[in-house]
Structure 1
Amino acid sequence: MAERPALGEDCRVQQEKRGLSDVVGVDIGGTKVLAGLVAPDGTVTATVRRETPHRSKTPDVVEATIVEAVRELTDGRSGLAAVGVGAAGFVDAAGSIVRFSPHLSWRDEPLKAALESRLGVPVVVDNDANTTALAEMRFGAGRGYRQVLCVTLGTGIGGALVLDGDVFRGGNGMAGEFGHMQVMPGGRRCECGNRGCWEQYSSGNALVREARELVAAESPTAFLLRDLVVGDVSRLTGPVVTEAARAGDPAAGELFDEIGSWLGTGLANLAAAFDPEVIVVGGGVSEAGDLLLDPAREALRKSLTGRGFRPEPPVVRAALGPDAGFIGAAVLARERAARPQV
């Protein structure tokens, strides 16, 4: 498949004319705010990380955290052209308002206007999974494909569908909330207010929750997990579970089999609905690689509608790691800022 250019030639010319050199992308997740200076070819030249304020904090606290990160990145520099923000939550079709975020205090929050008033430059807001998918399609594992389904496993599950180079946002800008598909009626309570959402069974939170329950129950199969945290379940994190699984801990390996199986089942449903050319899996949990993806591929293979009589979409690990969200946000901001002003 032919590779896509990072940006269109017209966009590059507009940038050169208008001096759009510095663009900052910001990715706001459930646990971290990650910001970076991003060049037109997707190269990241500097990054700043902050902890995400607790959801009990008011929206202006989160906004202040974003502003601090942007100012640190651009300290002593001039020519900041635009800022792109990938936000965890429902963003309206205009890219202005975060309607709802299950992990933050945003409820109909006018984030674009609030940040523009503080930063004095154009700001573009989109869902963080949308910006991740855009980055992976332009520069990462989805490069060269026309129909890309991207699923991100972090605190929860995000997702996006890229069709012919453009993110599909739906009628209200809220498409791609795959993590809140109900897969278990009456199941575990989700932070979105419903029960049985997919992300309650296949996400970073699900992985850590199950690991902590195993260690707390003194499961004889979780000996390495228990030793790694000296019996303190509060110290169990996703990377610790991954480390234990790679070292051969039976319990950790079973957890990835379970999380991966749930992932593959959900992906089979999405493949039936959208028929993507490729499925890109990103987010922090994807750092486990084939520990997660092998059981996911097997579950997808067993559950795919019309299996044996249709192409099976490859399931690949995202290539850009934790930078994807802010890279895509920067791409979006750069391209919108380069459009001729009417």
Structure 2
Amino acid sequence: MTTPTRAIGIDIGGTKVAGGVVDENGEVLLRARRDTPHRSTAPHVVEDMIVDVVQELVEAEDAPVSAVGIGAAGFVAADRATVVFAPHLSWRHEPLRDALARRVDLPVFVDNDANAACWAEWRFGVGRGESHLVMVTLGTGIGGAVLLDEKIQRGRFGIAGEFGHMQVMPGGHRCECGNRGCWEQYASGNALVREARSLVLAGSPLAADLAARVGGDVHNITGPMVTEAAQQGDPTAAELLAEIGQWLGIGLANLANAFDPGAFVIGGGVSQAGPLLLDPARDAFRRHLAGRGYRPEARILAASLRNEAGLVGAADLARDAVLRDRPDEEDEA
């Protein structure tokens, strides 16, 4: 029996569960979404949301589906079954694959969300044709992934690519992972919001536009709002994004020393700031790269699949796993 070519991809973030039916060309044919209840990130809550999304998509899809791929924002074990630790969700050694497999009548595969996004950009996006690719996703925190010779590098225990928790400032800001000074405390959406709120709370006249946009309530400041302000010409918002970009470039220079990729792909919500973020990142990258001027420089590219890279990659990785385990009729003949 020929394996269906469509698969469901699920992207789990700190605030939402997004899903889609994805075909073999990376096209999202159907979509569904559930928003995470405020501060309700307990495993059973998120699991229920995943099952709801999968059921909605299966019922709406008019063709067979081969598998479900989950892209989770956390440390995923090498067995692609267990979420070992999720800084932004209440998951600790959570057997997510087995829990879902009891409720979903399809093969289930779990992967880190940045691994899924990296795979999608390499298969269908801006990373096509690049043999050595590093993905960095900027959202609530920072995720990362490494692809070498057509394979995602998961590491011995499955936790490779957690670049956001490299310490770049010893004794710096406390991170949700438990350490201080992690990269994501300086180059993520959370960092952008923290710095914007700090300026408004300080009563800085430089933050007058940001304060006016939220009626003086700093709790209404969000990353997309700061990005929009910058794109509309607010110099302070642009400066905040440039600072995030500089920290991004410094971290990328360090990663270049470790992996020597041909390209970095920058994804996640914060990357939608475009040149306001990436131009300062490229500048800082060139200034901090070891051996600068004497070595080839990796390209720094904006992800092309935007917010859907995670679910597209999760679906394609799951389909790939099923195809490897279940040869079609021609292979069996």
Q: What band does the TM-score fall into relative to the shorter chain?
A: over 0.9
Question: Does structure 2 conserve the Cα–Cα contact (< 8 Å) formed by 1:221 and 1:249?
Answer: no
Structure 2 counterpart of 1:175? 160
Residue 154 (1) aligns with residue 172 (2): no
Residue 264 (1) aligns with residue 215 (2): no
Question: Does structure 1 conserve the Cα–Cα contact (< 8 Å) formed by 2:8 and 2:54?
Answer: yes
The correspondence for 1:289, drawn from 274, 295, 304, is 274
Matches within 5 A, 1:1-342: 17-53=1-37, 57-77=41-61, 79-341=64-326
Per the TM alignment, residue 192 of structure 1 is displaced from its structure 2 partner at its CA by: 0.3
SS of corresponding position for 2:111: strand
SS of corresponding position for 2:179: coil
Structure 1 vs Structure 2: percent identity of aligned residues? 60
Question: Does structure 1 conserve the Cα–Cα contact (< 8 Å) formed by 2:3 and 2:323?
Answer: no
Q: For each residue in 1:74-107, what CA deviation from the matched residue of structure 2 results, as whole angstroms up to 9, or x when unmatched? A: 2254623210000011111110111110111111
Question: Does structure 2 conserve the Cα–Cα contact (< 8 Å) formed by 1:55 and 1:104?
Answer: no
Per the TM alignment, residue 34 of structure 1 is displaced from its structure 2 partner at its CA by: 1.1
Per the TM alignment, residue 273 of structure 1 is displaced from its structure 2 partner at its CA by: 0.7
Q: 1:340 to 1:244 in 2, by over 3 A?
A: closer
SS of corresponding position for 2:87: coil
Question: Does structure 1 conserve the Cα–Cα contact (< 8 Å) formed by 2:136 and 2:145?
Answer: yes
Per the TM alignment, residue 53 of structure 1 is displaced from its structure 2 partner at its CA by: 4.6
SS of corresponding position for 1:187: coil
Q: For each residue in 1:162-181, what CA deviation from the matched residue of structure 2 results, as whole angstroms up to 9, or x when unmatched? A: 00111101000000000000
TM-score for the superposition, normalised by structure 2: 0.95
Return the letter of the residue paired with 1:48: A
SS of corresponding position for 2:154: coil
Structure 2 counterpart of 1:3? none
Per the TM alignment, residue 229 of structure 1 is displaced from its structure 2 partner at its CA by: 1.4
Per the TM alignment, residue 51 of structure 1 is displaced from its structure 2 partner at its CA by: 1.6
Q: Equivalents in 2 of 1:186, 1:53: separation in Å?
A: 33
Runs of 4+, deviation exceeding 3 Å = 53-57
Q: 1:248 to 1:220 in 2, by over 3 A?
A: same
Per the TM alignment, residue 58 of structure 1 is displaced from its structure 2 partner at its CA by: 2.8
Question: Does structure 2 conserve the Cα–Cα contact (< 8 Å) formed by 1:54 and 1:104?
Answer: no
Report which stretch shifted further, 226-235 or 165-174: 226-235
Question: Does structure 2 conserve the Cα–Cα contact (< 8 Å) formed by 1:53 and 1:62?
Answer: no
Question: Does structure 2 conserve the Cα–Cα contact (< 8 Å) formed by 1:132 and 1:325?
Answer: yes
Q: Equivalents in 2 of 1:55, 1:178: separation in Å?
A: 25
Per the TM alignment, residue 33 of structure 1 is displaced from its structure 2 partner at its CA by: 1.2
Q: Equivalents in 2 of 1:128, 1:53: separation in Å?
A: 20
Per the TM alignment, residue 55 of structure 1 is displaced from its structure 2 partner at its CA by: 5.6
Q: Equivalents in 2 of 1:226, 1:341: separation in Å?
A: 57
Per the TM alignment, residue 54 of structure 1 is displaced from its structure 2 partner at its CA by: 5.2
Per the TM alignment, residue 311 of structure 1 is displaced from its structure 2 partner at its CA by: 0.7
SS of corresponding position for 2:224: helix
Equivalent residues, number? 326
Q: For each residue in 1:255-310, what CA deviation from the matched residue of structure 2 results, as whole angstroms up to 9, or x when unmatched? A: 01110100000000000110000010000000000000010000000000100000
Q: For each residue in 1:20-74, what CA deviation from the matched residue of structure 2 results, as whole angstroms up to 9, or x when unmatched? A: 1431000111122111110000001111121235565431111111000111112
Q: Equivalents in 1 of 2:244, 2:60: separation in Å?
A: 46
Q: For each residue in 1:116-145, what CA deviation from the matched residue of structure 2 results, as whole angstroms up to 9, or x when unmatched? A: 110011001000000000000111111110
Q: Equivalents in 2 of 1:57, 1:291: separation in Å?
A: 32
Q: Equivalents in 1 of 2:214, 2:11: separation in Å?
A: 30
TM-score for the superposition, normalised by structure 1: 0.92
Q: 1:131 to 1:57 in 2, by over 3 A?
A: closer
